[in-house]
Amino acid sequence: MAKPTPLRLAKGPEGPIDGVSSAFADSVPDRLFLEYQALIKQAAGIHLHLGKKALLVGRLSARLRELGVADFAAYLDLVRRSADELTQMIDRICTNETRFFREPQQFEAIARTAIPAWRAATAARRPRVIRAWSAACSSGEEPFSIAMLLHAALPSSEGWRHEILATDLSTKILDRARAATWKMERAEDIPQDYLKAFMLRGEGPQAGKFRAGALLRDSIRFLPHNLLHAPPANGFDLIFCRNVLIYFDEPTKRGVVERLRSALAPGGWLLLGHAESLLGAIEGARSLGPNIYEFPGASSRAEGGIR
């Protein structure tokens, strides 16, 4: 059997943590770092090479101080004994960077191509239900961008229903996403007509902030999910998994993509980040636009929706 072609990724961040001086690294010998590396890889699929030692230490130092733990060896023992603390550790090392309508060419492609196709398919008795999954949703800007686009183009007044699943490994960031409240400067990337139609301006104690309206909030379900595990649902018309694969090694990337592929409805789209490509790496992947892929012959069933 021929050796699989590696998943091609353009240059991008080498890991999920950054910005800490290497002077911190002295508190963790290589042997201990490799134990952390193995545990994080097993739990989250994230591969941290030795060059990230100082950054790992920088992210976790505050947690050790909070708990009064003496050193990193003792903290590792605690993490191994406590599933809750393992979750805390993963939360600390994950970077959550996002914004509304990030990579706008992809949203334009949905509006230009996918939405007219869905409308046309209703003539062939396609249900007026659109399912989308924002995998690694971070603080919520991505799933709420999806919700705005879908509600604007396919309104409920025409009988359309939107089921949007938003997941993330970090339970802490999911709480922020679920709150659906952001500082006003985050609104700069939202089109003005969408802001007026779907968002609420904060007043009093919430001045300087804005919140998603009930229509959007009711469309989105938030769940913790690890991309190393089976998808929480299937039959998705759109799956966004952007700027996540860059943190995995090649076998892990391939496994994640295959699981995402299995969750697509026939004709569904997988949308990746600008530094990620499947061409020549995953059999059957066909490019439809800027890091947008479909898999002709996908066998997912529409009835496996979000519950």
Distant-in-sequence contacts of 213-217, Cβ < 8 A, 24+ apart: 215/151, 215/156, 216/144, 216/147, 216/148, 216/151, 216/180, 217/180
* Rounded mean pLDDT, 33-38: 91
d(CA 202, CA 254): 43
* Rounded mean pLDDT, 239-262: 90
* Helix/strand/coil for 248: coil
Contact 45, 256 (CB under 8 A): yes
| Per-residue pLDDT at 99 exceeds 50 | yes
Q: Each residue of 42-61: pLDDT tens digit?
A: 888 888 878 788 878 888 99
Could you tell me if residue 297 is left (phi over 0), alpha (psi between -120 and 50 degrees) or otherwise beta?
left
Element (H, E) at 35: helix 30-44
The tokens of 208 are what?
């300087």
| Per-residue pLDDT at 274 exceeds 90 | no
Kindly list the structural domains of the chain, giving each domain's residue range(s) and its CATH number in brackets, ordered by start. 22-93 (1.10.155.10), 104-294 (3.40.50.150)
Residue 96 binned pLDDT confidence (cut-offs 50, 70, 90): low
* Rounded mean pLDDT, 54-83: 91
| Per-residue pLDDT at 102 exceeds 80 | yes
Residue 280 binned pLDDT confidence (cut-offs 50, 70, 90): low
At residue 26, the pLDDT reads 60
Contact 141, 212 (CB under 8 A): no
Partners of residue 211 on adjacent β-strands: 181, 200
The model's pTM: 0.79
d(CA 135, CA 233): 12
The mean of the pLDDT values for the chain is 85
- Torsion on CA atoms 245, 173, 101, 300, rounded to nearest 10: 50
d(CA 141, CA 50): 32
Q: Each residue of 196-229: pLDDT tens digit?
A: 999 999 999 999 999 999 999 999 999 999 999 9
